[in-house]
Chain A
Amino acid sequence: MKLDCKHVWEHISEYIDNTVDARLREEIELHLEHCEICSAILDATRNILVLTADDRTFELPVGYSKRLHERLAKELENSEPDFKKQ
């Protein structure tokens, strides 16, 4: 079976996650060898994922960790958790 572009697009996400079966994978790869548009879409999507996973893209607020542990310290100090009562 020869895949068309639309068919490849439908499976791009699964292809990236490596959850397509071996045969479909082979067909997609065969298509990618000859189709610049699909290759570009694949690269674009991959780049977005790289950028997403980069810690600098989604940063934590400055002082977040410090405030979190201060709040937690107060909680630990002041309350008896349920498990102590059980």
Chain B
Amino acid sequence: MAETNETGLIARILAGEKELFHDLIRPYERMVYLTLFGIVKNETEAEDGAQEAVISAYRHLASFRGHAKFSTWLTAIAINEGRKRLRKAKGAAEDSIEKEEDGHEVDYTPAPLTDWREIPLEALERKELREALRVAVAELPDIYRQVFVLRDLEELNIEETAQALAINPGAVKVRLHRARMMLQKRLVPFLKTTAPARRGFFGRAL
């Protein structure tokens, strides 16, 4: 949705045409759900959380001043809702999101594999591959998964991702890189066992 339309919509909602909030939120439904899912990793929790986040956005719409993009503001609300649910689930005493640091205990080097570049489009169409990716994303450590979901799933830019998560852009880049490399590494063995050996596009033996 064009931002000018959005600004107009918000003004009209605030002036009393509250039904228009349905239209305002529609382009972002998917984003809100995926943000929640990226944090709570559970469909039912994500859906409940998405509803709460949308309602919270409605109730607090007057506090949206247009300093950030509406999508970024809404994402931040969704993240807060997700974190609240995660804290509740893990117990109020422990907040693993805040405690996790960008440590070096994990190996972030990619897995070398020459098969990948020969993977034809139909392989990307396979359901098992999608499933493997879903599982791999769900299993990423929280801080990496959150950045990955905002950047590569919701396609926010680095600045927006940093703003939504209240971290600096440098941390976004580092976490994103590590998330991508971890996924690459996770999916390589999967492909090795399911993709038949073949000759490459340029006739190279693999």
Which A residues are within 8 Å of any B CB, using their own CB? Answer: 6, 9-10, 12-14, 16-17, 19, 36-37, 39-41, 43-45, 47-58, 60-61, 64-65, 67-69, 71-73, 75-76, 79, 81-84, 86
Contacts and interface: CB of A to CB of B under 8 A. Distances in A.
Contact of A53 (B114, B155, B181): B155
Q: Which of A36, A52, A64, A65 gathers most chain B CB within 10 Å?
A: A52
Contact of B19 (A40, A65, A76): A76
B55 A75 contact: yes
A39 B180 contact: no
Contacts of A61: 33, 43, 47
B73 to A, nearest CB: 15
Interface majority SS on A: helix, strand, loop or mixed? helix
Given A41-B113, A68-B29, A71-B54, 9 more contacts: A12-B180, A12-B181, A40-B112, A52-B153, A57-B130, A57-B134, A58-B37, A64-B29, A72-B58
A51 B59 contact: no
A64 B158 CA distance: 28
Interface in B36-59: 37, 43, 47, 50-51, 54-55, 58-59
Interface majority SS on B: helix, strand, loop or mixed? helix
B110 A41 contact: yes
B177 interface: yes
A9 B181 contact: yes
Contacts of B112: 37, 40-41
B60 A37 contact: no
21 contacts: A9-B181, A10-B177, A13-B176, A36-B117, A41-B184, A43-B119, A44-B184, A44-B188, A45-B181, A48-B187, A49-B152, A56-B130, A58-B134, A58-B137, A61-B33, A61-B47, A68-B51, A81-B18, A81-B58, A81-B59, A82-B60
